[in-house]
């Protein structure tokens, strides 16, 4: 088990997030430019926000150009085969979940490496995993889907992040932590979707 597996998962996640952004933009009937922008933002928005808040600038995608190419190619393919994508619906859902797990763990790791408070590290993980989708929804003029009553999503990130911090304190090897904690996020999300587990909402009684 080595880090290259983690990188493969990261690539699958990037692909899935880009496709999810492109589909969302096409659903909204945005034009070609809008589709590419939303695909990029969904894929790299969470990590970009984390980098900006951390002061890690220029942000990652400006210096690690490979993800830009990847998102560009994937989005082009998604546009061409837009009416066939439902065939891959299950694979896409799986990839999206993989992306959630992997992006979360890269986010937690940035916090841990910078010796930030464990709570902040966990928050950075959840931000990296989920805020691409939040920015996508804001640009599409919707209340971010993960804030509404919904099957558990961000909660899986938080649990995976806590697991990362604990295993790191216990001195577990980093590549084992990567795989086990990203799998934790992925499994929680898969189970939550299968059994439709969601967080409670708390609304106000109107007077």
Does position 58 interact with its own copies (CB under 8 A)? The reply is yes
H helices of 55-117, in order, are 60-63, 66-80, 89-113
Which range binds its own copies by CB under 8 A, 90-98, 99-107, 111-119, 160-168?
A: 111-119
Site string for its own copies, 7-36 (x = CB under 8 A): ----------------x-xxxxxxxxxxx-
- Cα 42 to Cα 56: distance, rounded to the nearest angstrom: 19
Residue labelled with tokens 């910078």: 114
What distance in Å separates the CA atoms of residue 124 and residue 128, rounded to the nearest whole number?
A: 6
Which residues sit opposite 151 in a β-bridge? Answer: 198
Name the DSSP class of 198: B
Does 94 help bind its own copies (rule: CB under 8 A)? no
Q: Does residue 193 belong to the site contacting its own copies (CB under 8 A)?
A: no
The residue ranges that bind its own copies (CB under 8 A) are 23, 25-35, 37-38, 48, 52-55, 57-59, 61-63, 65, 68, 79, 82-83, 86, 114, 116-117, 119-120, 123, 134, 138-144, 146-150, 153-155, 198-205, 207
């Amino acid at each position: 088990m080595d880090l290259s597996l983690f990188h493969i998962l990261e690539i699958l996640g990037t692909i899935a997030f880009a496709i999810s952004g492109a589909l969302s933009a096409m659903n909204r009937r945005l034009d070609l430019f809008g589709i590419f922008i939303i695909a990029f933002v969904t894929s790299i928005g969470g990590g970009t926000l984390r980098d900006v808040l951390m002061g890690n600038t220029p942000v990652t995608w400006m210096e690690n150009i490979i993800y830009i190419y990847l998102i560009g190619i994937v989005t082009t393919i998604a546009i061409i085969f837009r009416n066939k994508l439902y065939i891959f619906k299950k694979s896409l859902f799986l990839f999206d979940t993989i992306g959630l797990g992997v992006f979360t763990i890269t986010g937690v790791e940035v916090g841990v490496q910078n010796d930030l408070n464990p709570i902040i590290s966990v928050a950075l993980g959840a931000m990296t995993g989920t805020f691409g989708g939040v920015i996508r929804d804001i640009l599409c003029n919707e209340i971010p889907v993960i804030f509404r009553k919904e099957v558990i999503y961000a909660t899986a990130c938080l649990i995976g992040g806590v697991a990362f911090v604990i295993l790191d304190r216990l001195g577990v090897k980093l590549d084992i932590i990567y795989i086990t904690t990203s799998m934790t996020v992925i499994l929680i999300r898969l189970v939550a979707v299968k059994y439709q587990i969601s967080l409670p909402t708390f609304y106000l009684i109107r007077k």
